[in-house]
């Protein structure tokens, strides 16, 4: 696992890595790295979006699935043309002189297949749909393309009846997530013509479980004046741990069964903004190489985090503006109508519990341990960042201010 992780991360931070690998005659090696073609671009977009959302809502929980959002916006680009399409794809981080539009959609198609099929041990559901006013005449090629590349749909809704359209959208997402995500859309406004909906649910099985009998109700310090009670999970075991020498934080890396891995990052009190500002692809690489296997007495809240975001404002702040204005070119969706995107709704949920694989005995002689156990309690606001080992996609990024 450490060698695989190191190789993944080195690829992420080395722009010429794929070029070198493409010259390797080994078909197996070429295929292996092809799984990560989108990783650098997607992860950079992930952290940019994450920082913008944290800045907009400094005292709130933040939880998003960046890879799912990237797929939704790339899917939407199939219906755009001209400057609108260029701006959208460049806003996602793509250099269109190096990668064609066709290559982008082919690579997302491959990534979507890998994330959906390669790991059955994660309970993970993600998807998108575009809802359009029923008065529009949808281009059949658009519907065919989004189904082919993204396994997605474009569905007609009666946006003259807001309550009915909201119920339709919420019911659609509820059915797609087997009831795990509900009420993705609370209200619409009178200007709605196109609504992009993206959803994500995640529940993993730890490679090393927490003992439910050790879970206790304890204090979580939201800020200097607010304390809440939370069920706190605990385990004392050998864990990858780091006290960062450059940033004011401590962190652990825990693995899920299968391809998932997650970084729990605990900023020193009052230093959340400093750590968020430094979060990046390079920081993840540095952490991964600096983590050491240590004996850790770890406590993390048992929680379920659910957030919904209308991404219209934050995407505009990031330079993706055309799709929301009268300048939008959605002629790939409907040729005669002047369309603009009304909403980009993202709802994500993560459940964090004790469930894991049975513990395995590890001979102490084989471990490289620090001299004494480290006590690490996630009892004040922290960050959580999960990735897929195989594709190195950013499954979710979160900031937990109040776990209740």
The pLDDT value given to residue 157: 94
Q: Which of 68-77, 83-92, 337-346 has the lowest mean pLDDT?
A: 337-346
The pLDDT value given to residue 285: 93
Dist CA 270 CA 165 (whole Å):
43
CB 86 within 8 A of CB 94: no
The pLDDT value given to residue 25: 37
Same-domain check for residues 235 and 329: no
Same-domain check for residues 180 and 74: yes
Dist CA 40 CA 9 (whole Å):
9
CB 101 within 8 A of CB 227: no
Dist CA 99 CA 102 (whole Å):
8
Residue 28 falls inside a structural domain: no
The yes-or-no verdict on residue 13 having pLDDT over 50 is no
The yes-or-no verdict on residue 131 having pLDDT over 60 is yes
Residue 30 falls inside a structural domain: no
* Backbone φ and ψ of 81, nearest 5°: -140, 165
Residue 374 falls inside a structural domain: yes
Same-domain check for residues 191 and 318: yes
The pLDDT value given to residue 33: 59
How do residues 187-208 score in pLDDT, each as one tens digit?
Answer: 666 567 899 999 999 998 999 9
Q: Among the ranges 34-38, 157-161, 250-254, 363-367, which has the highest mean pLDDT value?
A: 250-254
Same-domain check for residues 194 and 223: no
Tokens linked to 33: 């790295």
Distances in Å between the Cα of 30 and the Cα atoms of 33, 40, 394 are 5, 17, 22
CB atoms within 10 A of CB 19: 9
The pLDDT value given to residue 104: 97
In the DSSP assignment, the letter for residue 369 is -
Q: Which of 29-38, 149-158, 259-268, 377-386 has the lowest mean pLDDT?
A: 29-38
Q: What is the mean pLDDT of residues 217-227?
A: 96
* Backbone φ and ψ of 229, nearest 5°: -95, 135
Helix (H) / strand (E) containing 7? helix 2-13
- More confidently predicted of 36 and 175: 175
Dist CA 115 CA 127 (whole Å):
11
Label residues 301-325 b or e (16+ Cβ within 10 Å = b): bbbebbbbbebbebbeebebbbbbe
Residue 220 falls inside a structural domain: yes
CA 375 to centroid of chain Cα atoms: 29
Same-domain check for residues 219 and 272: yes
Residue 12 falls inside a structural domain: no
Residue 111 falls inside a structural domain: yes
Same-domain check for residues 262 and 129: no
* Backbone φ and ψ of 303, nearest 5°: -155, 165
Count of structural domains within the chain: 2
Q: What is the CATH number of the domain that holds 265?
A: 2.30.39.10
Secondary structure (H, E, C), 39-93: HHHHHHHHHHHHHHHHHHCCCCCEEECHHHHHHHHHHHHCCCCHHHHHHHHHHCC
| Residue 335's pLDDT band (cuts 50, 70, 90) | confident
The pLDDT value given to residue 370: 46
| Residue 19's pLDDT band (cuts 50, 70, 90) | very low
The pLDDT value given to residue 105: 97
**Checking DSSP bridges between strand 249-255 and strand 341-352, what pairing results, if any?**
unpaired
Same-domain check for residues 290 and 385: yes
The pLDDT value given to residue 225: 94
Dist CA 325 CA 181 (whole Å):
30
The yes-or-no verdict on residue 247 having pLDDT over 70 is yes
Q: In the chain, pLDDT over 90 holds for what percent of residues?
A: 76
Residue 3 falls inside a structural domain: no
Helix (H, G, I), strand (E, B) or coil at 252: strand
Range of the domain at 194: 35-204+305-351
- More confidently predicted of 348 and 19: 348
The pLDDT value given to residue 163: 86
The pLDDT value given to residue 363: 44
Residue 59 falls inside a structural domain: yes
The pLDDT value given to residue 119: 56
Order across the sheet with 194-203: list the strands. Answer: 153-157, 123-133, 194-203, 341-352, 303-310
Average pLDDT of the chain is 88
Same-domain check for residues 385 and 347: no
CB 259 within 8 A of CB 389: yes
CB 230 within 8 A of CB 380: no
The pLDDT value given to residue 17: 29
Same-domain check for residues 64 and 154: yes
Same-domain check for residues 264 and 224: yes
Q: Ramachandran region of residue 319, left (φ > 0), alpha (ψ -120 to 50) or beta?
A: left
Q: Which of 50-64, 105-119, 340-354 has the lowest mean pLDDT?
A: 105-119
CB 299 within 8 A of CB 378: yes
The yes-or-no verdict on residue 3 having pLDDT over 80 is no
Distances in Å between the Cα of 14 and the Cα atoms of 184, 197, 262, 283 are 38, 34, 22, 14
The yes-or-no verdict on residue 289 having pLDDT over 50 is yes
Same-domain check for residues 68 and 171: yes
How do residues 91-119 score in pLDDT, each as one tens digit?
Answer: 999 999 999 999 999 999 999 999 887 55
CA 199 to centroid of chain Cα atoms: 11
Q: What is the CATH number of the domain that holds 41?
A: 3.30.497.10
Tokens linked to 94: 């793509």
Same-domain check for residues 285 and 384: yes
Dist CA 267 CA 123 (whole Å):
29
């Amino acid at each position: 696992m450490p060698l695989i992780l190191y190789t993944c991360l080195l690829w992420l931070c080395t722009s010429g890595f794929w070029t070198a690998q493409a010259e390797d005659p080994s078909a197996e090696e070429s295929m292996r790295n092809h799984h990560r073609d989108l990783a650098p671009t997607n992860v950079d977009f992930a952290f940019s979006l994450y920082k913008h959302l944290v800045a907009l809502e400094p005292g709130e929980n933040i939880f998003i699935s960046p890879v799912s959002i990237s797929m939704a916006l790339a899917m939407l680009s199939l219906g755009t043309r001209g400057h609108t399409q260029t701006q959208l794809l460049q806003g996602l981080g793509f250099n269109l002189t190096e990668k064609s539009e066709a290559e982008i959609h082919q690579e997302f198609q491959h990534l979507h297949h890998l994330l959906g099929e390669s790991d059955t041990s994660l309970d993970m559901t993600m998807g998108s749909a575009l809802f359009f006013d029923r008065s529009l005449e949808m281009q059949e090629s658009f519907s065919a393309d989004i189904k082919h590349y993204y396994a997605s749909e474009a569905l007609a809704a009666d946006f003259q009846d807001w309550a009915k359209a909201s119920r339709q959208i919420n019911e659609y997402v509820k059915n797609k997530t087997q009831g795990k995500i509900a009420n993705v859309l609370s209200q619409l406004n009178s200007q709605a013509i196109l609504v992009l909906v993206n959803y994500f649910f995640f529940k993993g099985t730890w490679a090393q479980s927490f003992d439910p009998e050790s879970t206790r109700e304890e204090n979580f310090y939201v800020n200097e004046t607010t304390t809440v009670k939370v069920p706190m999970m605990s385990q004392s075991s050998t864990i990858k741990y780091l006290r960062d020498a450059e940033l004011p934080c401590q962190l652990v890396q825990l693995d899920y069964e299968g391809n998932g891995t997650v970084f729990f990052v605990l900023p020193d009190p009052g230093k959340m903004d400093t750590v968020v500002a430094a979060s990046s692809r390079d920081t993840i690489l540095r952490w991964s190489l600096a983590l050491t296997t240590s004996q850790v007495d770890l406590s993390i809240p048992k929680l379920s985090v659910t957030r919904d975001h209308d991404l219209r404002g934050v995407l505009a702040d990031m330079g993706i503006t055309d799709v929301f204005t009268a300048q939008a070119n959605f002629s790939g969706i409907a040729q005669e109508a002047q369309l603009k995107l009304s909403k980009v709704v993202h709802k994500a949920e993560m459940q964090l519990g004790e469930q894991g694989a049975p513990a395995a005995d590890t001979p102490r002689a084989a471990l490289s341990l620090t001299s004494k156990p480290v006590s690490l309690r996630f009892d004040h606001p922290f960050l959580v960042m999960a990735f897929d080992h195989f594709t190195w996609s950013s499954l979710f990024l979160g900031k937990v201010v109040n776990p209740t």
